[in-house]
Chains A and B, each alone.
Chain A
Amino acid sequence: MLSDYPPLPTCFQLKMGKTKDSGVEERPKWDNKVQYLLTCIGFAVGLGNVWRFPYLCQIYGGGAFLIPYLIALVFEGLPLLYLELAIGQRLRRGSIGVWTSISPLLGGVGIASLVVSFLVGLFYNTILAWVLWYFFHSFQNPLPWSQCPLNESRTSYNTECEKSTPVNYFWYRETLNVTADIEDSGSLQWWLVVCLASAWSIVFFCFIKGIKSVGKAVYVTATFPYLVLTIFLVRALTLPGATDGLVYLFTPDILKNPQVWLDAATQIFFSLSLAFGGLIAFSSYNPEKNNCERDALLVGVINSATSLYASISIFSILGFKANNGYTACLNENVLVLTNNFELPDQSITVDNYNQWFDYLNQTKPEEVSSLSLKECVLQTFLDQSASGTGLAFIVFTEAVIAMPGSQVWAVLFFVMLFSLGLSSMFGNLEGVLTPLYDMALIPKRIPNAVVTAIVCLISFAVSLIFALGSGNYWVEVFNGYVGSVPLLIIAFFEITGVIYGRGMKTFSDDIYFMTGKRPNIFWKACWTVISPLLLLVVLVAYVVLQARIKPSYPAWNPAYSLFPQTETKVYPDWVFAIIVLLCVVPVISIPLVAIFRLIYRMKKSSATSNLNPYDNKAFENEPGLEKYQKA
């Protein structure tokens, strides 16, 4: 085997490389291990850790959700992560190169990863543009989402704002200027275009020198969120109501909803950013002998721990917010009672409200019932759950207004969101660029920075659709359909391709070569049986659940009868066609490439007659030589 032969002297190899001049460039390398780990962690830890995991904990009851989540991590997340890091490090190529090396029939898997990375990068950066918008607006006093603007005649506040809340109004009207329907595209919102341009410029700036600049940027982007989460946690624990939020988060729900397993499996899968090709690319820049098993365990565990830590922080703040809402509700009732019964000011307070209420109800029940007091229950305020953009831009911004020194907290929060998203964008962009280089489509004389600039420019141009009036609805479409089923399919082909295509024995040898020990029975069992089975079950369950309900979306329609509730509208047919396209186009390359290669192989075997044993194809074509050099 390869390892049995002594390695060639490196100076000899180097000279060969230089004289050939067909460009066997040295593959970029990480400056140190820390940069590599931070980049992988930054890629895995993203916005979903902050705004999807706490939401799932909340709706299933934290204690109940953690068990399926940890099981999914151990049997699905970690094996897949280990596999991706190992195969990238061994074959030392991006996603397309890796799969083509294993078997030319699997080349489509790499192309699928590239397409998915590109599409996800489009809407992910749009979310970062929104975060930037809020960040820019956090330098005002008072915060712009804390008050309603006046209407045109300046006699009262804007009706749309009054009916809903200032926070909702700022998000839906002043940020998105959202239309009432996905079919109504509206116009390009110039301020969003500006923010999009900024977001893509920042991504480009960090990516100019490839992993050299990314590796330095992640020192900040990967560590800053932890700092902010800690600050928020400490601050929130000093505010009233934080413990209510934490207790609520971790109280398990007695109802055993089987969907919790599906949500746990999909959450761990998407949270680790598997099947994007980014992790493969990052680990391909590692030295050949690197303990990728430890890396995988580290990244996986840190990702889950971050989710947990983030949910503690977030829920302390949400507990404070719920407490605020509850106290405000009580205070309203207090005022009504005080005014109606002409009692001295502050005789009824939040603390003695219940006693006063009982007393008044006993002595003057008709009058009390005529007042139509609100029912104030802390649980209802805690139950107001939100995930995704709703959590960040509506719920959390509202909590921030109530905290003293709101501007500081707002700035910290949005910078944290931005660094979380930025480090994930690095992985997305890497998943697009490295396969492009591997495919050797780009002439060597174009410097890497220019290629990166062109890719960023094209992405920016396409993502302008998200700056339209209906942009938010399109982000939801992309988020729901590109970032889900195609990834599951790609991951399934990845694991079966490596284990059954390359072979468990060869892969074990690879790992022995890299880490010095073979994978134990646990990994082998997971890779061969458990993980593919889990993936298949999750994929089928997911598709079945999606197919059962007609896809619909919540629309912000001021003319809706139940406004400010969002109106649930069904996607029109043409949008549904686009949804199907988004699910199918990324993965269509897998069968297409396989078929194409099969036909090509059949044609070739029928055409060639002489199999010269001394013809080792070394003289035929130089690129083929390179391929064998690297394998």
Chain B
Amino acid sequence: MIMHREMLGRISLLLCLSAALAQDLCKQDAEHGYKVRLSIKTALGKEAYNWTENEMFLFQSTLAFAMRNHHREHKFEVSNIIVCEETPRVSFWFVVTAPGSNSTLVQRGDVENAIRKSRSRINSVFLLSDETLEFIGIHPTLAAPVTYDSPPWLIAFGVVMGLIVAGIIALFVSSAVQKKRKKQSYEETEDNMWIENGSARDGVRNMAFVEEDKFTPM
């Protein structure tokens, strides 16, 4: 966006003024401030971007967006987000001033709620996640564990048991059918056998004779 020289002058003046004021408001362990920690290399590896002034500007505007989302009536500006104590880690502190006033800070609780509400938007702006973009003191809302309407395990169970029961029934039916067939053929051959070997039935079967060889060793 092309800025007119005038506006540029005014903004730089404002920034200088606010910077002077901000010295007192933003410091380490500020009462209504939060520490932010980014782990860009961990999250993105080779695709990691460098943390520059522009990125910081983006952060301030994103946070202003989050505050606006939370307090619909108030128009937060980038200048309301004051940043300090930046380290190579990348970590820094920030405080939020109320729009229109340079000295009153927005309460901690308010800031927290605003951030919570827009957390996923803030994360996605920087291509980070809850673990790699940390607001120290604001715990990420726990991801609800995935729930299913119909538990998948019952489906798996149903499939397996259906197959087994079908298999059991099939085996029973097939063996019953086989038995019937066997009985029919057996009846036919048995009649033949008795006719052929009728002579074997005549006379007395001498069981003792048959088994004698088994008894001899005794």
Q: Are A156 and B89 in contact (CB under 8 A)?
A: no
Whether the pair B161, A198 counts as a contact (CB closer than 8 A) is yes
Task: For residue B181, give the distance in angstroms from its CB to the closest CB of chain A.
Answer: 16
The answer to whether A205 touches B164, judged by C-beta atoms less than 8 angstroms apart, is: yes
Name A204-259 residues within 8 Å CB distance of B.
204-205, 208-209, 213
* Contact present for A346 and B41 (CB under 8 Å): yes
**With an 8 A cutoff between CB atoms, is A150 at the interface?**
yes
Set B88, B161, B190: member contacting A344, Cβ < 8 A? B88
* 16 pairs, CB–CB < 8 Å, chain A vs chain B: A2-B217, A5-B213, A15-B193, A132-B160, A139-B152, A140-B152, A154-B142, A155-B142, A201-B165, A204-B168, A208-B172, A346-B39, A346-B41, A449-B172, A618-B207, A628-B214
Least Cβ–Cβ distance between A507 and chain B, in angstroms: 16
Interface residue ranges, B against A (CB under 8 Å): 37-42, 87-91, 142, 144-146, 148, 152-157, 160-161, 164-165, 167-168, 171-172, 175, 190, 193, 197, 200, 207-208, 210-215, 217
Given A136-B153, A142-B146, A339-B37: A205 and B88 interface contact (C-beta under 8 Å): no
Q: Does A522 lie at the interface of the complex (its beta carbon under 8 Å from any beta carbon of B)?
A: no
A372 lies within 8 A of chain B by Cβ: no
Contact between A616 and B161, CB atoms less than 8 A apart: no
Please state if B89 and A343 are interface contacts (CB–CB under 8 Å): yes
Complex interface: chain A residues within 8 A of B160 (CB): 132, 136, 198
Q: Does A194 contact B (CB under 8 A)?
A: yes
User: Of B37, B157, B172, B208, which contacts A198 at CB under 8 A?
Assistant: B157
Ranked 5 nearest A-B pairs via Cβ: A342-B87, A346-B41, A136-B153, A136-B156, A342-B89
A629 in contact (CB, < 8 A): yes
* A324 within 8 A of partner (CB): no
Q: Select from chain B the residue with minimum beta-carbon distance to A11.
A: B197
Give 9 A-B pairs besides A136-B153, A142-B146, A628-B211 with Cβ atoms closer than 8 angstroms. Answer: A5-B213, A136-B152, A141-B146, A149-B145, A339-B37, A345-B40, A345-B41, A345-B89, A449-B172
Closest to B171 in A: A208
Is B165 a contact partner of A338 (Cβ separation < 8 A)?
no
Q: How many angstroms between the C-alpha atoms of A157 and B193 in the bound complex?
A: 80
**Which residue of the partner chain A has the closest CB to B144?**
A150
Contact of A625 among B142, B164, B207 (CB under 8 A): B207
Number of A-B contacts (CB under 8 A): 110
- The CA-CA distance from A15 to B88 in the complex, in Å, is 98
**Which of B87, B144, B153 has the most chain A CB atoms inside 10 A of its CB?**
B153
Q: List, in ascending order, chain B residues with CB within 8 A of A205's CB.
A: 164, 167-168, 171
Q: How large is the interface on A (under 10, 10 to 19, 20 to 34, 35 or more residues)?
A: 35 or more
B152: A residues at CB distance < 8 A? 136-137, 139-140
Q: Roughly how many angstroms separate A202 CA and B168 CA in the complex, as a whole number?
A: 9
Which chain B residues lie closer than 8 Å to A346 at the CB level? Answer: 39, 41-42
A141–B210 CA distance with the chains assembled, in angstroms: 71
Chain B CB within 8 A of A528 CB: no
Which of B89, B175, B200, B215 makes the CB contact (< 8 A) with A616? B215
Give chain B nearest CB distance to A43 CB in angstroms.
22
Indicate if A619 sits at the interface (CB-CB under 8 A): yes
Chain A residues near B214 (CB, 8 Å)?
2, 628-629, 631
> Which chain B residues border A133 with CB–CB below 8 Å?
153
Complex: how many Å from CA A155 to CA B142?
8
In the bound complex, do residue A342 and residue B88 qualify as a contact, i.e. CB atoms below 8 Å apart? yes
Contact check, B167 vs A616: say whether CB atoms are below 8 A apart.
no
Q: Are A345 and B171 in contact (CB under 8 A)?
A: no
Task: Using known A-B contacts A139-B152, A345-B38, A628-B211, determine if residue A449 contacts B161 with beta carbons closer than 8 Å.
Answer: no
Known interface pairs A139-B156, A343-B88, A346-B41. Does A201 touch B211 (Cβ–Cβ under 8 Å)? no
Which A residues are within 8 Å of any B CB, using their own CB? Answer: 1-2, 5, 8, 15-16, 18, 132-133, 135-137, 139-142, 147-150, 154-157, 194-195, 198, 201-202, 204-205, 208-209, 213, 338-339, 342-346, 449, 616, 618-619, 625, 628-629, 631
Distance (whole angstroms) from the CB of A101 to the closest CB of chain B = 13
Of chain A, the residue at the smallest CB distance from B165 is: A201
B200 lies within 8 A of A15 (CB): yes
- Which residues from chain A contact B144 at a C-beta distance below 8 Å? 150, 154
- Least Cβ–Cβ distance between B8 and chain A, in angstroms: 33
Q: How far is the CA of A156 from the CA of B142 in the complex (A)?
A: 7
Q: What residues of chain A lie closer than 8 Å to B89, measured between beta carbons?
A: 338-339, 342-345
Contact present for B88 and A618 (CB under 8 Å):
no
Across the interface, do A1 and B165 meet the contact criterion of CB distance under 8 Å?
no
Contact B153 A140 (CB under 8 A): yes
- How many Å from the CB of B64 to the closest CB on chain A? 25
For B156, the closest partner residue in chain A by CB is A136
A15 to B189, CA, bound (A): 12
The smallest beta-carbon distance between B192 and chain A, in angstroms, is 13
**Hey, which chain B residues are within 8 Å of A195, CB to CB?**
157
Q: Is the CB of A137 within 8 A of B165?
A: no
Rounded to whole angstroms, the CA-CA distance of A618 and B205 in the bound complex is: 12
Residue ID in chain A nearest B40 by CB atoms: A345
Task: Please name all residues of chain B whose beta carbon is closer than 8 Å to the beta carbon of A194 when the two chains form the complex.
Answer: 157
Given contacts A139-B152, A342-B88, contact A213 B171 (CB under 8 A): yes
In whole angstroms, how far apart are the Cα atoms of A195 and B157 in the complex? 8
Determine the residue in chain A with the shortest Cβ distance to B134. A339
Q: Report yes or no: A619 in contact with B207, Cβ–Cβ below 8 A.
A: yes
Nearest CB of B to A222, in Å: 19
A57 to B80 CA separation, bound complex (whole angstroms): 66
| Chain A nearest Cβ from B73, distance in angstroms | 30
> Which residues of A sit under 8 angstroms from B90, Cβ to Cβ?
344-345
Residues on the B chain within 8 Å of A147, using CB: 145
> Is B164 within 8 A of A198, CB to CB?
yes
- Chain A hits for B146, CB < 8 A: 140-142
Look across to chain A and name the residue whose beta carbon is closest to the beta carbon of B131: A335
Return B158 CB to nearest CB of chain A, in Å: 10
- State whether A157 touches B142 (Cβ < 8 A): yes
Closest to A195 in B: B157
Q: Which residues of B contact A5 (CB under 8 A)?
A: 213
Check if A342 sits within 8 Å of B156, measured CB to CB: no
Determine the chain B residues whose CB is within 8 A of the CB of A135 once the complex forms: 156
Least Cβ distance of A624 to chain B in Å? 11
On whether the beta carbons of B168 and A201 are closer than 8 Å, the reply is yes
- Bound-state CA distance A342–B93 (Å) is 13
Complex contacts, A343 vs chain B, CB 8 Å? 88-89
Q: For residue A138, which residue of chain B has the nearest CB?
A: B156
CA distance A155 to B165 in the complex (A): 44
How far does the alpha carbon of A631 sit from the alpha carbon of B217 in the complex, in Å?
12
Q: Which residues of the partner chain B approach A149 to less than 8 Å between Cβ atoms?
A: 145
CA–CA, A155 and B210, complex, Å: 87
Query: What is the distance, in angstroms, from B196's C-beta to the closest C-beta of chain A?
Result: 11
B164 & A449 in contact (Cβ 8 Å cutoff): no
Nearest B-chain residue to A148, judged by Cβ: B145
Nearest to A141 among chain B residues (CB) is: B146
Q: With contacts A136-B153, A139-B153, A194-B157 known, is A618 near B208, CB below 8 A?
A: yes
Q: Contact at B164–A15, with CB atoms within 8 Å? A: no
Q: Are A201 and B161 in contact (CB under 8 A)?
A: yes
A454: shortest Cβ distance to chain B, in Å? 15
Contact of B142 with A619 in the complex, beta carbons under 8 Å: no
- Kindly state the separation between the CA atoms of A172 and B19 in the bound complex, as whole angstroms: 58
Q: A72–B37 Cα gap in the complex (Å)? A: 61
Given A202-B164, A618-B208, verify A209-B153 contact (CB < 8 Å): no
The CA of A445 and the CA of B156, in the complex, are separated in Å by 38
Residues of B within 8 A of A137 (CB): 152-153, 156
